[in-house]
Amino acid sequence: MKKKLPVLILLLLLALPLALAGCDKNDYVWSQGAGTFVDLSAMPEGTAEQYQYLYDRRVVADESDTGKDYLAHPDSVLLDNGDILTALSLGHGKGGTVMRISRDKGLTWEAITVPDSFSTTEETPTVYKLNFTDGTQRLVLIAGRPSWADVPGSQGEGWDAAVSSSLNEDGSYDGVTWTDLENYFGPNTDDPDYNRPATEWDCVVAMSSLTQLKDENGNFIDKWMGTFHDDRYFINYKTYLTFDENGDMVWTEPVRLLGQNKEYSDVEQDSQFCEVEIIRSPDGGELAALFRANAHRSFSYVSFSTDEGETWSEPQTLSPELTGDRHKAEYDPATSKLVITLRSIVFRNNDPSEGWNSQYSRSYGWVMWVGDYEDLKHGVDAKGDLFVKLAHTYGGNDTIGDADRANADTGYAGLVIYDDGLIVTTSYGTFSPADDPERGGDTYIIAKRLTISDVASLAGVSLR
């Protein structure tokens, strides 16, 4: 996550009175040809029964079961038995990690016990299921240890990782029991091979993506490419994960992700690339890397690789609909559509030149884009099929009540999709108005359940 976001949101609030005086809400309507906008944040009167579930919000975690009124940054993984495992932070990145599990496809959630070491995490947790070529698997949880101005002694200490150690009857991991976290590339690691001085690796959102790689014949191998960024300089890094004969994790020394000769460093650092999500093309031969442009003076960016992430094309901008923070992507087996969740960033008249951190700032909050992989290659014309506002977040610059006036402190969504097309996505935010007696003003975690076919039908859209 981005450490400066709360400050930016405060600046937005201070700027709001000026913004309201000079902005027409029509300045923010997507350009002609955009994917159809669908608002699932509040159910209109008369909605057909078959679509009413699209507006439901299922509470994953809140103050009642954590003792915290600010929870954030969930990540989810779909287990082989159909359960959904979600890891989340007891604070804005830092604060410790807890887990929730749903055994009924996101309808209800329960806490699972985690090791004491999980209480020491200092960054957004990420969780992944790794499928090995021999049919076995691992679940891994990872969290960076960056420098925090308000955490004494934190100086940039690599990342921590743990694996699930309990199995279902079929041999797949159930996510219920975990090993203690182990540190990699920090000064306090137990393994001298990974010991590095504090400040050497300041890892934010580790690993924002963890991609299984292929060999020269196009076959998957037991090797994964992980990504993170150092937000002191906004340089993105990759590290490779393998496992030794004892089943222990082996991580390589990180190197630059983009341009080993720094050929893309100007755009990477000027636009402040971070939180990369990597998507494999449907034919399996190409990787696309989607970047948050944290400077918020441009649309988000994408770069492509045809050699398993060794080299990347010159970054190009994405469409306004795909502009935002912390992209998470999966394919929908039922429709073959690419589904991407993100935190929406909206520029007036689709013009980033004024900057987002100004009186012209807006956000739809937590959104979902639905389209095709090839859309990613068409820049600002990559409109997709659907652009979906999943839930409203209160307390930001939402005073005029428009859908694009949501609190931007949301997104960072967990995203899983079942074979039948059921999507369960989790996010954090102030989903209740301030005067709500139960959760007013709290930032908590919810899940939304939907299918692309139902959303398209509700909107009267024929998918391409």
Confidence band for 404, pLDDT divided at 50, 70 and 90: low
Ramachandran area for residue 184 (φ above 0: left; ψ -120 to 50: alpha; else beta): beta
pLDDT for res 351: 83
pLDDT at 456 over 50: yes
Q: Given the DSSP bridges, would you call strands 411-417 and 423-429 parallel, antiparallel or unpaired?
A: antiparallel
pLDDT for res 100: 98
DSSP 180: P
pLDDT tens digits for 156-168?
899 999 999 888 8
Mean pLDDT, residues 15-32: 38
pLDDT tens digits for 304-316?
999 999 999 999 9
pLDDT for res 437: 94
pLDDT tens digits for 122-154?
999 999 999 999 999 999 999 999 988 777 777
pLDDT tens digits for 325-381?
999 999 999 999 999 999 999 887 788 887 776 555 688 999 999 999 999 999 888
Taking the complete model, does pTM exceed 0.85, yes or no?
Answer: yes
pLDDT at 8 over 50: no
CA 424/CA 435 separation, integer angstroms: 28
pLDDT tens digits for 29-82?
443 345 799 999 999 999 999 999 999 999 999 999 999 999 999 999 999 999
Check: CB of residue 253 under 8 Å from CB of residue 290: no
DSSP 300: -
pLDDT for res 93: 81
pLDDT at 20 over 50: no
CA 379/CA 298 separation, integer angstroms: 12
Q: Alpha-carbon Rg of the chain, whole angstroms?
A: 21
Q: Label residues 145-165 b or e (16+ Cβ within 10 Å = b).
A: bbbbeeeeebbbbbbbbbbbe
Please give the sequence-ordered ranges of beta strands (E in DSSP) within 294-375, or none if there are none: 301-305, 316-317, 324-331, 338-344, 366-371
CA 364/CA 64 separation, integer angstroms: 28
pLDDT for res 401: 46
pLDDT tens digits for 202-256?
999 999 999 999 999 999 999 999 999 998 899 999 999 999 999 999 999 999 9
CB atoms within 10 A of CB 443: 24
pLDDT at 10 over 70: no
Nearest partner of 157 among 207, 208, 121, judged by Cα: 121
CA 6/CA 11 separation, integer angstroms: 9
pLDDT for res 383: 81
Mean pLDDT estimate for the chain: 90
pLDDT for res 397: 54
Mean pLDDT, residues 179-197: 95
3-state secondary structure of 47: coil
CA atoms within a 13 Å half-sphere pointing along the CA-CB vector of 399: 12
Mean pLDDT, residues 94-110: 97
